[in-house]
Chains A and B, each alone.
Chain A
Amino acid sequence: MKLPTDLLYADTHEWLKVEGTVGIVGISDHAQNELSDVVFIELPKVGTQAKARTNIAVVESVKAASDIYSPVSGEVIEVNMDLQNDPALLNADPYGKGWIYKIKLAQPDETKNLKDAEGYKAQIGG
C-alpha cells in the first residue's frame, strides 16, 4: 500500500495535503483498494462550508456507495472535475490525479487530529 509521508491521514481513510492555508483532500490507496472499481463520485459543491468529520462527498463502487468525510473544516474552493468523466482515477492515482477537492483551512489546528503516515499505517495494519 502506498503511503506518502508528506500527507496526513484521517482514520476514515481520507488524506490531506497542506499547502499553506489550503488543503487538498483525497482517499488513500488502502481505501481505493477496498472499494475496488470506482464508477461514480458525487463531488462537493464549490463554496460548501465543510465541517471536520462530516460527510462531504460520496464515492460509489460497483457494489456500494461510500461516504467521504472531510478531514478538516473550511470552504471548498475547488473540485476535481476530471473525476466526473473518469472516476477510475481514484483507483489509478489516489494521491495524484485522483485528488477530490481543495479546501481553505478554517481551523489549521485541526490537522493535529490527523495521523501521519506511520500512524495511519498502524491503523490499517501495514
Chain B
Amino acid sequence: MTSSGVDLQRTPLHAVHVALGARMVPFGGWDMPVQYTSILKEHAAVRTTAGLFDISHMGEVRVKGSGAVAWLNETLTNQVEKVSVGSSQYTLLLNDQGGVIDDLFLYRPGEDEFLLMINASMIEEDIRALKSHLNRSDVILTDESRQTAAMALQGPVSSIILDRWIPGASAKLPRFAIQSFETSFGKISVARTGYTGEDGFEIITSSSKAADIWNHLLKIGQSDGLIPCGLGARDTLRMEVCYPLNGHELGPEITPLEAGLGIFVDLNKPRFPGKDILVQQKANGVPRKAVALLAQVPGAPPRADYPVCKDGKIIGKLTSGCLSPTLQKGIGLALIETAHAMVGNTVDIEIRGKYNPSSIVKKPFYQKPK
C-alpha cells in the first residue's frame, strides 16, 4: 500500500526482485526495483558487460487488420510505411494541442500486425486516446498488457548471452528488428531495441513464463558479468544518451518539435492529432527548445526542475539531470527559451542558490564507440 492508500501494481517478476534483495519503489503506479546492489554498479555493468531489467510494467497493445497501417498513420506521428515487416520505429501519440500524450515503440511483427509498447504510467490513458480515434472495422485493437511480460537485456555482451539461450538469435536481429522464437520456455518475441544506448534486446513473453526466463538469463549470463538492474540505472543510462522520459522531457504541454523529436514526425501525412499545431510551429518556430547541458566545472548534480538562467534571468528549467556515471560530470536535459538554445552557448544551472555554469552540447552526451 502507498501512503495514499492506493495499491501499487506488481509485475510477474515482483517476487523475484524481492528475493534478490531489491529496493522497491513506486513508479507510475507500479512497485518496481530501483536498485539491487548499487545504481552506479548496475549502470557500469550495462556499459561494460550486461544488465537485465524488468520492463513488464510497460503496456503492450496489439493492432491488427487491413486498415492498421492507414489508421496508425492517422493516429501517431511517424510514417508507418517506413517500418518493414519484422522491424520497428519510435513514434508519438499527441493530443489535439500537439502536446505529447505518450512516446512509444511501434513494432511490426506482420504485414497487418503491430505491437505498441507504451509507458507504464500511461497505459489507461493511451488506450483511451487510441480508442477515441478508432472508428473503423478493419482495425482491431487489443490491450495485452496484463498477460504480457518483458525484460531488457542490455550491454556489449548481451548478444553473447542471448545466443547462449537461443543459438543464432542475434544474427537474425539487426537493430530495430523483431522476431519470434520457439524456446524451451515457449514462444517469445525478441526485439533489438532498448533504452540504454547499448546493444541489447527486449524480450517479450507471456506473464507465466517471465520468472523462469529471468532466472535462466541471470544464470547463463553470470559468467559474462550479467547482473539485474533497476530503474535507477535505467534512468542514468537513458540520460547519458539523451533519451526522453514522458513526464519529464515530454508531456501534454510539450510538442515533439519543442522536444527536438521532429525526425519522428511526418508532417507530409494528411492528418494526425496535433498536426495543425506542429505545422504552425514549423512555420513560426518554437518558443522553447530541448537542450543538453554539460557542467563546465565539478559541482552538485543537476536535477529535474532546477532553474536554468542567463545573466541572472530564468530562461527555462531542467527536465532531467544527474551526475553522469560514465562521464563523471553533471549532465542535464532542459527546456529553455529558443533564443538561448544554441549548441556552444553557456548557461547557468541554479543549484541551492549557486550558479553552476554549463555548456549546451550536441546530443548525445555519451556515444558507444563504433
Contacts and interface: CB of A to CB of B under 8 A. Distances in A.
* A, B bound: yes
Interface in A40-59: 40, 42, 58
B301 interface: yes
A62 B322 contact: yes
A104 B35 CA distance: 39
Chain A interface extent, by class: 10 to 19
Contacts of B322: 62
Interface string B250-264: 000000000000000
A1 B198 CA distance: 37
A62 B300 contact: no
A116 interface: no
A65 B321 CA distance: 12
Find the residue from A40, A58, A62 having the highest chain B CB count within 10 A: A62
Interface string B32-58: 001100111000000000000000000
Interface residues of B, number: 15
Contact of B300 (A36, A58, A63): A58
Contacts of A37: 38-40
A63 B299 CA distance: 16
A39 interface: yes
A60 interface: yes
Find the residue from A39, A58, A60 having the highest chain B CB count within 10 A: A39
Nearest to B35: A36
A91 B39 CA distance: 13
B303 A62 contact: no
Interface of A: 36-37, 39-40, 42, 58, 60, 62-63, 65
Given A39-B323, A60-B300, 14 more contacts: A36-B23, A36-B39, A37-B39, A37-B40, A39-B40, A40-B300, A40-B323, A42-B352, A60-B323, A62-B39, A62-B232, A62-B236, A63-B232, A65-B303
